[in-house]
Structure 1
Amino acid sequence: MSESLSLTGIGPPSETKEQKSKSYAVNLSNENLSLNANGSPPYDPHAHRILEHPTTNSETLIHLLKGSLGTGILAMPNAFLNSGLLVGTIGTILIGFLCTYCLHVLVRSQYLLCKKLRVPILSYPDSMKYALKDGPDCLKFGVPLSAVVVDGFLIVYQLGICCVYIMFIGSSLKQVLDIYITPMNERYYMLFMLIPLVAINLIRNLKLLAPFSQLANIITFVGLGIVLYYIFQDLPPVSSRPLFGEPMKYTMFVGTTLFALEAVGVVLALENNMKTPASFGGTTGVLNVGMTAITIMYVAMGFFGYVKYGLDTQGSVTLNIPKNEILSQLVKIIFAFAIFITYALQAYVPVEIIWNTYMKKRIQNWDKTTMEYLLRISVVLITFLLAVSIPLLELFISLFGALCLSVLGIAFPALIEICVLWPERNFGRFNYVFWKDILLIIIGILALILGTYISLSEIINHK
């Protein structure tokens, strides 16, 4: 189950504690390593990684593509509804470039930190902590809480994904089963799934999910093919849709697209399991090739999905395809099953962070196994209650994209890079790296504030 563990950012079970971390250090593929004073080469983190089943470049690329084809791509037509065709196309390309660049910034900075500290790998929270220690004096006050803050955003984001998954499953089941039984509110379908979700989340050994995960991956590709079949049937002319959306909804477009494209944990986890991590970066490296292909697919799905369904576009394009046809009902069941399995993988991440970092060492008088099971049940109940209380799929996608990924994927990588380069002031000519990172931090904070505010406003207005 090393693949499923990798996609959750936990790491293969045979790895050390550092290697099981949520985010991973990456290479400077073209760096020339000079010799130390004693004639030995400097510490290379890549050379000290111990992997039981490393992946090749092609396998990593396949995993990257597969890990990105889920609810995110299904939400892209709704993102284009908020932006318009022209703004959506250009905006998705720009956000794809921004996400990819910030991933390069993060993994390059983590590599430098690992090299300096002489460790094979650092988690995302530890990277922030050690970077701030070397950063400007005005930022060192944040060192004690830095790891907690990063963990907090990671936990909230993963719980948000779980909420979206529950809404998606409930909406999909409603569209299929309402045809055969008395129509019910989608909340009841979410309630019917509560016990199965608790049961699957009680599985502590994810290897048991491996066969189901592989099946979910296969049927997801089949489902996407069926969705595209419906989209390209009797496709209206492109001119029938506006090029520009309402400016007030652009931030919702940004939030949804960030949710779809930004995958910090997945991308960094995949790099950590590579046989040749030096091939991950670079102009024609795995990251650039994969993210380019993903961005193109997302633009195509968003563009043509919006052209097809226009103002009727829903939070997931699967909810737009016909309700009474067997094939369309099949694809909704397919995606509902795939997301059900993936829920366990996504919920595994916050459970691991909360349990291993904050609970396990503090529990003395209680049975630890029982407490871990209670934590797993609590995670399901929290996400279920949030999903049932406000079942607005598209708004939750936008909210969690803006709330967490603007920080985790844009602002924090830039802040880490500033701190890592601060001791030597190695910011390039005219300190362009410093000012570039300041701009990225501002963009991330603005996306956080505006996107969260507008998404919350829309949720409140829909209640």
Structure 2
Amino acid sequence: MNLLHGGRHKGRERNRGDTRRHHHDGQRPRSASTTPLERSEDDEEEDNGYGMSTSMTNPAYEPDEGEKKNSRGMKDAAFVLSIKDANGKDNTSDKYDPYQHRKVEHPTTNSETLFHLLKGSLGTGILAMPLAFSHSGYIIGLIGTVLIGLICTYCIHLLISAEYELCKRRREPSLTYPATAEAAFLEGPAIFQKCASASVHMVNAFLLLYQMGTCCVYIVFIATNIKNVCDEYFEDINLRLYMLMFLLPLILINWIKNLKLLAPFSTAANFITFVSFGIIVYYLIDGSPTFEERDAVGDVENWPLFLGTVLFALEAIGVIMPLENEMKTPKKFGGGFGVLNIGMSSIVALYMGMGFLGYLTYGNKVKGSITLDLPPGDVLGQVVQVMLALSIFITYALQCYVAIDITWNEYLSHRFLKNSKKSFIEYVVRTLIVLITFSLAAAYPKLDLFISLIGALCLAALGIAIPALIDMCTYWNYLDGMKFNIMVVKNVLLICFGIFGLVIGTYTSLSKIIDEFVNGEE
């Protein structure tokens, strides 16, 4: 492992200098993954010439007790020049606290952040957990869900910690996911420094695939549940026709640029979702779950499908950093009993319960969404399916917003600054994104394999491999000896696990999809 140290310290000062020069003009890296929560006033703050914001301390920020004791004497230090000791270590980054310089118009409390985290993680994924357990068996399902949950939570901690450390060094209040990747790569090995700009596009590409893939899943979910109810009362028609019925409403709802107009509907959708989950649990318990003819360990060849589904269900990587950046007390997000650990523990427990009960109740005949297994003709079950379809319809606009934000605001809008038809072109782009998701969903309307494919392809990278890579690059020139070796080995293992999950999960899902196409199954 000594070879890993070669040249690291020699280039440390150069790496730091390059990083500071990269932002000497006060501009932050382009971060195309911005969500509504991430966009704040600090994006337009002016630089004071030393690479830091001229904004004063965030008045909404609540310091810990230790900070209150040490705050005296720091209030006058509005601007601090970069002073390095004889060893070249930058001491000013230790005095700069990004949390105190975040300008948040409406900061969220710990409980509000926890609610948003739960809301962002509870969607179509949890309804697919019983099928995931049928792929793995209930023993492997329980153990696997816990292990994957632990790995995902740990990797989120790595990402948040790296963002905080990089913000301190760069004197930035906050960074988005792509900006964090770029900043980390600039401080990593030479080969990664050359790829720093490309890292932004890499993260954006995975985020775009994930968001559009999720929108495809939503279209299939809406159409499948509505068809399941209508088939009880009307003549059976093709699923794709139901998708076509919702195409125009989906286009129109995505023409809404101001998400505040959707806020009341989003709140109602959240209420509907939680009530529907409660009713589903009632059906599962009332359905007499049994261990008879239930596999404790499923076929190994289907385990990758389990992995992809659980990753899709558990990961809420698109909302993690915006939530932490919007907190009133961001230090409470991490920690042993912080918002993240409490939220993820609750999410893992809910997913385990839904998967375990659903599989024991319906066995290997369980469908891609547990809502489709509710008793046919049962009015309450039909109400649940319609309510969840309506809820997901509203959520589609929120998910699609991120895809539109990446595509239009970061890659296209600047090309039409002087074009008088810029607004019209934006509507065209919004429409095309909906049409793309609709076309993909109509091409293969299989909910279960779609979920597994998106989970394996995107979230194995976004939720595991890339956070580990960011952590390794962030501390590449700042750790020595055994700490450095442990950090590298740990992150390399996580990166390998993430890549393995991506490759094997994607291959298995695509193989199943191709097999069904070849066999002509509907």
TM tier, smaller: over 0.9
> Which blocks of at least 5 consecutive residues in structure 2 are unaligned?
1-32, 46-63, 75-79, 85-90, 518-522
Match of 1:276 among 298, 317, 329: 329
SS of equivalent residue, structure 2 residue 334: coil
SS of equivalent residue, structure 1 residue 232: helix
Q: Given the superposition, is the C-alpha separation of residues 230 and 416 from structure 1 closer, same or farther in structure 2, using an over 3 Å criterion?
A: same
- Alignment partners' CA distance in 2, 1:452 and 1:12: 30
Which one has a bigger Cα radius of gyration? Answer: 2
Q: Which residue of 2 aligns with 1:144?
A: 197
2:212 is the counterpart of 1:186: no
User: How many residues were matched structurally?
Assistant: 449
Q: Which residue of 1 aligns with 2:447?
A: 393
- Alignment partners' CA distance in 1, 2:66 and 2:184: 20
Q: Which residue of 2 aligns with 1:17?
A: 43
1:102-138 per-residue CA deviation (whole Å, 9 max, x = no partner) reads 0000010011111111111111111111211111112
Q: Is contact 2:35–2:405 with CA below 8 Å preserved after alignment?
A: no
Q: Which residue of 2 aligns with 1:292?
A: 345
Identity of aligned residues (%): 50
Q: Which residue of 2 aligns with 1:42?
A: 95
1:342-362 per-residue CA deviation (whole Å, 9 max, x = no partner) reads 000000001011111110111
Single out whichever of 50-59 and 189-198 deviates more from structure 2.
50-59
2:169 is the counterpart of 1:116: yes
Paired AA for residue 141 in structure 1: K
User: For 1:12-411, what aligned pairs fall within 5 Å after superposition?
Assistant: 15-17=41-43, 42-363=95-416, 364-365=418-419, 367-411=421-465
Structure-2-length-normalised TM-score: 0.82
SS of equivalent residue, structure 2 residue 473: helix
Paired AA for residue 137 in structure 2: G
Single out whichever of 149-158 and 418-427 deviates more from structure 2.
418-427
Q: Which residue of 2 aligns with 1:3?
A: none
SS of equivalent residue, structure 1 residue 340: helix
Paired AA for residue 140 in structure 1: Q
Paired AA for residue 11 in structure 1: L
SS of equivalent residue, structure 2 residue 412: helix
Q: Given the superposition, is the C-alpha separation of residues 18 and 453 from structure 1 closer, same or farther in structure 2, using an over 3 Å criterion?
A: farther
How far apart are 1:427 and its partner, in Å?
Answer: 7.2
- Alignment partners' CA distance in 1, 2:468 and 2:66: 20
Q: Given the superposition, is the C-alpha separation of residues 298 and 426 from structure 1 closer, same or farther in structure 2, using an over 3 Å criterion?
A: farther
- Alignment partners' CA distance in 2, 1:9 and 1:116: 24
> What's the C-alpha RMSD, in Å, of the aligned pairs?
2.3
Q: Is contact 1:240–1:307 with CA below 8 Å preserved after alignment?
A: no
- Alignment partners' CA distance in 2, 1:313 and 1:156: 27
1:159-180 per-residue CA deviation (whole Å, 9 max, x = no partner) reads 0000000000010010011111
Q: Is contact 2:121–2:315 with CA below 8 Å preserved after alignment?
A: no
Q: Is contact 2:42–2:102 with CA below 8 Å preserved after alignment?
A: no
Q: Given the superposition, is the C-alpha separation of residues 169 and 401 from structure 1 closer, same or farther in structure 2, using an over 3 Å criterion?
A: same
Q: Is contact 2:476–2:484 with CA below 8 Å preserved after alignment?
A: no
- Alignment partners' CA distance in 2, 1:146 and 1:31: 37
Paired AA for residue 304 in structure 2: T
How far apart are 1:244 and its partner, in Å?
Answer: 0.6
- Alignment partners' CA distance in 1, 2:142 and 2:101: 42
> Which blocks of at least 5 consecutive residues in structure 1 are unaligned?
1-6, 20-28
Match of 2:470 among 416, 428, 431: 416
- Alignment partners' CA distance in 1, 2:484 and 2:37: 40
Q: Is contact 1:257–1:401 with CA below 8 Å preserved after alignment?
A: yes
Q: Given the superposition, is the C-alpha separation of residues 218 and 426 from structure 1 closer, same or farther in structure 2, using an over 3 Å criterion?
A: farther
- Alignment partners' CA distance in 1, 2:342 and 2:420: 49
Paired AA for residue 310 in structure 1: G
2:481 is the counterpart of 1:455: no
Q: Is contact 1:279–1:286 with CA below 8 Å preserved after alignment?
A: yes
Paired AA for residue 412 in structure 1: I
How far apart are 1:424 and its partner, in Å?
Answer: 1.9
Structure-1-length-normalised TM-score: 0.93
Q: Which residue of 2 aligns with 1:437?
A: 491
Q: Which has the higher contact order (CA 8 A, sep 6+)?
A: 1
Q: Is contact 1:8–1:346 with CA below 8 Å preserved after alignment?
A: no
Paired AA for residue 290 in structure 1: G
Q: Is contact 2:177–2:321 with CA below 8 Å preserved after alignment?
A: no
Q: Is contact 1:46–1:277 with CA below 8 Å preserved after alignment?
A: yes
Q: Is contact 2:213–2:454 with CA below 8 Å preserved after alignment?
A: yes
SS of equivalent residue, structure 2 residue 41: coil
